[in-house]
């Protein structure tokens, strides 16, 4: 069955001794873009993540191998998928330095051939690459599910699932809520998360990017299509006062378009009007919940970490259960 440009397959979970409700619909074969998900997909992933957090034992996957191919640097996504793989009883394989693979710039084995080969040695591939569409290229020849763990400026769909899961946890529901986006609005996390907001019914989206940025046209057209009201503000204080949650991002995300071998360092000095500090939270008496896919630089001061507003490390804790849910559904489809 085709769904958009993605194949869907029948799936049944059979896990003796495990309380994992069988989803009423089909699981995706690959995870390439957040726009492939239905509301049922998102709900199923969240429920399954809840089950894993509650300690339910997953189906035995001890003969399964998940290949982690990180052509760009990563802390959370790479170790998050590795931790999820281990927690499922499966095994993570991969190279610590993808420049040592044959798919480096010097040797130049294509991503298509890389996927065709590696997918015959493992049961799923998780890939991060600087090139938009890299995961889709690998999916076109892979014999196993491919998960896009960030493809350049394009998308980061599993981060979006994590963000929705953490927002639902913090707010109960996003329905009728005001959600702000701080920092660079051009990043792949904003693009992917925007796709999932169509299911969540927020009252409005409030952009608070530094002056130099336009909101990407495709992000604006997605919001228009989903009929979510939006506005732009130029001081984070207003978001702290007026919004229920703020999804922060670094001041400049341009490193995500660089190859892993690049020495490029993005500027990280966030203008004062766009930084969140404990003093601002206290002065505005803000109860807005603070989220961030991380890594952070100076856009959220470390002094905020101890405040009840801070959700970003809880977001990381929850990410493991969401990644378990994603891997479990793909490996048992
Ligand atoms: N949020 C995120 O993608 O972090 P990493 O770059 O560390 O994987």
Average pLDDT score over residue span 23-44: 87
Nearest CA to ligand 1 atom 4: 76
How far, in Å, from the CA of 162 to the mean position of ligand 1?
A: 12
| The ligand 1 atom nearest the CA atom of 149 | 3
The pLDDT value recorded for residue 167 is 98
Residue 295: asked if its preceding bond is cis (omega within 30°), the reply is: yes
Nearest CA to ligand 1 atom 1: 293
- Residue from 150, 166, 317, 318 to probe ligand 1 pocket by mutation (most atoms less than 8 Å from CB): 150
Query: Per residue in 299-332, pLDDT tens?
Result: 999 999 999 999 999 999 999 999 999 999 999 9
How far, in Å, from the CA of 17 to the mean position of ligand 1?
A: 34
pLDDT tier, 11 (very low <50, low <70, confident <90, very high otherwise): very low
How far, in Å, from the CA of 82 to the mean position of ligand 1?
A: 13
Residues touching ligand 1 (Cβ under 6 Å) are 74-78, 150, 156, 159, 293-295
């Amino acid at each position: 069955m085709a769904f958009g440009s993605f194949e869907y397959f029948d799936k049944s979970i059979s896990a003796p001794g495990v309380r994992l409700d069988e989803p009423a619909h089909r699981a995706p074969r690959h995870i390439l873009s957040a726009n492939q998900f239905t509301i049922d997909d998102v709900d199923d992933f969240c429920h399954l993540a809840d089950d894993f957090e509650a300690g339910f034992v997953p189906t035995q996957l001890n003969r399964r191998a998940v290949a982690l191919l990180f052509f760009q640097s990563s802390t959370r996504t790479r170790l998050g998928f590795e931790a999820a793989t281990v927690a499922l009883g499966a095994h993570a394989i991969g190279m610590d330095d993808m420049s040592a693979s044959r798919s480096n710039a010097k040797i130049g084995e294509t991503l298509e051939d890389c996927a065709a080969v590696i997918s015959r040695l493992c049961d799923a591939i998780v890939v991060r690459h600087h090139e938009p569409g890299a995961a889709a290229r690998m999916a076109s020849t892979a014999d196993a599910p491919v998960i896009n763990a960030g493809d350049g400026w394009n998308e980061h769909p599993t981060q979006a699932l994590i963000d929705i899961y953490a927002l639902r946890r913090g707010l109960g529901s996003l329905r009728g809520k005001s959600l702000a986006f701080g920092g660079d609005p051009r990043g792949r996390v904003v693009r992917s998360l925007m796709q999932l907001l169509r299911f969540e019914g927020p009252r409005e989206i409030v952009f608070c990017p530094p002056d130099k940025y336009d909101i990407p046209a495709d992000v604006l057209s997605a919001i228009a299509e989903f009929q979510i009201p939006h506005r732009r503000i130029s001081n984070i204080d207003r978001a702290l006062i007026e919004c229920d949650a703020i999804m922060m991002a670094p001041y400049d995300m341009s490193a995500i378009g660089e190859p892993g071998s690049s020495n490029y360092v993005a500027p990280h000095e966030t203008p004062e009007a766009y930084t969140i500090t404990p003093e601002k939270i206290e002065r505005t008496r803000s109860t807005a919940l603070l989220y961030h896919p991380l890594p952070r630089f100076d856009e959220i001061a470390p002094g905020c970490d101890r405040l009840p507003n801070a959700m970003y490390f809880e977001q990381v804790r929850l990410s493991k259960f969401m990644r378990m849910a994603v891997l479990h559904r793909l490996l048992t489809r």
